[in-house]
Amino acid sequence: MTTLVTGAGGFIGLNATERLLASGEPVVALTLGPLRPEAARAFAALPGRLSVEIGDVCDVASLRGVLARHGVRRVLHTAAVTAGPDADPARAAAVLDVNVAGTNAVLILAREAGVERVVLTSSSAVYGDAPFGPAPVTEETPPRAASLYALSKLASEGLAVQARAFGLDVVRARLTAIYGAWEHDTGVRDTLSPPLQIATAAARGEPVAIAAGGFRDWTPGPEIAAALVRLLAAERPRHDLYNLGCGRIWDPVILCRALAAAQPGWTWRRSEEPSIAYNDALDRTRLSPPSPARFEAEFGPAFGEPEAGVAAYAAWARAHGTLLTGGR
């Protein structure tokens, strides 16, 4: 069964594409430009069949042709412009074009093509400040979208709900903060994850200063990809909305220690003047990261302990230093 992955050049799309190909599935990767050479080489060794289509989700005619040409039966929609909380309002049109109009095009054309399942990647950003409060954050928590990005994701979810009403099988997945394999600077994210910034500095041999705060429920990309693929393949999901994430906050010091062990001579320290950028409030603690309980109750354990994910990422970063540094 052929799956179209939109935004396949982004690191969520790359992880999902890798997961599908490893399972022997045919995948159509829709991307704005060629896949990174490192990814193309890795994917060529996998049993699934990969077709790469250069295109934009906002190009309706091109997208319609891709769906028809490849006989796409499932769609994983990850294409998005990730704007930070302080994004310039002048970028609003570009963000809304991709995140809302692009999503609308994907949903309309998927229904037109008779696609059997669409999985839409949304974001835990729609919960706003709720994770800083004491109440558990579940799929029943009312959205409190405040940023441009969160508002665009909430709008895309509304389009998905509407598409379900018209007969399209759409499942929404609210993703938490993600890091890990294949994350790199694609130019469409305002702030790269702190774990990526730390790993990039380590790959360059540059010392890092990390803040005392800034703990988050960062979740490895491969674990998120595995959960998304489960949602694509599930015969009858019990719900149309799932939180995906480890559900636990952790201190990036464990990543620093793992990278230092893998790369002797590299150094890091705590500082009130961190050398990395945090897309988060450093003076508040996330008491209630979005819970994956609904997903795991239905599909089984999906998210491991942070230490295991960090160890796997340190090894991956060691092997893919040129991707992190851009060849430098």
Domain boundaries along the sequence of the chain: 3-178+220-244
For residue range 180-238, list pLDDT tens digits in order. 999 987 766 667 899 999 999 999 999 999 998 889 999 999 999 999 999 999 999 99
Sorted by sequence, the CB contacts under 8 Å of residue 139 that are 6+ apart come out as: 174, 239, 241, 242, 243, 294
Extract the tokens encoding 63.
Answer: 């997208």
Share of the chain above pLDDT 70, in %: 96
Check pLDDT > 80 for residue 86: no
Report d(CA 63, CA 84) in Å as an integer: 28
Of the listed 149, 179, 242, 313, which one is catalytic?
149
Extract the tokens encoding 237.
Answer: 């999901």
User: Confidence class of residue 96 from pLDDT cuts 50, 70 and 90?
Assistant: very high
Question: Which of 59-63, 92-96, 318-322 has the largest mean confidence?
Answer: 59-63
149 is catalytic: yes
Check pLDDT > 60 for residue 327: no
Helices and strands in the chain: count of H runs, count of E runs:
12, 11
User: Confidence class of residue 12 from pLDDT cuts 50, 70 and 90?
Assistant: very high
Question: If you average pLDDT over every residue of the chain, what do you get?
Answer: 94
Extract the tokens encoding 272.
Answer: 């009130």
Write the single-letter amino acid at 220: P
Check pLDDT > 70 for residue 3: yes
Q: How far is CA 100 from the centre of its chain?
A: 17
Place of tokens 């991956």: 316
Check pLDDT > 80 for residue 173: yes
Give the pLDDT of residue 90. 66
Place of tokens 């093509």: 113
Give the dihedral of Cα atoms 90, 95, 100, 104; nearest 10 deg: 120
Give the pLDDT of residue 243. 98
In CATH, the number for domain 3-178+220-244 is: 3.40.50.720
Q: β-pairing, 74-77 with 208-210?
A: unpaired
Q: How far is CA 65 from the centre of its chain?
A: 26
User: Confidence class of residue 17 from pLDDT cuts 50, 70 and 90?
Assistant: very high
Report d(CA 146, CA 155) in Å as an integer: 12
For residue range 45-83, list pLDDT tens digits in order. 999 999 999 999 999 999 999 999 999 999 999 999 887
User: Confidence class of residue 84 from pLDDT cuts 50, 70 and 90?
Assistant: low
Give the pLDDT of residue 88. 65
**Mean pLDDT (whole number) for 25-29:** 98
User: Confidence class of residue 328 from pLDDT cuts 50, 70 and 90?
Assistant: very low
- Cβ count near 264 (within 10 Å): 6
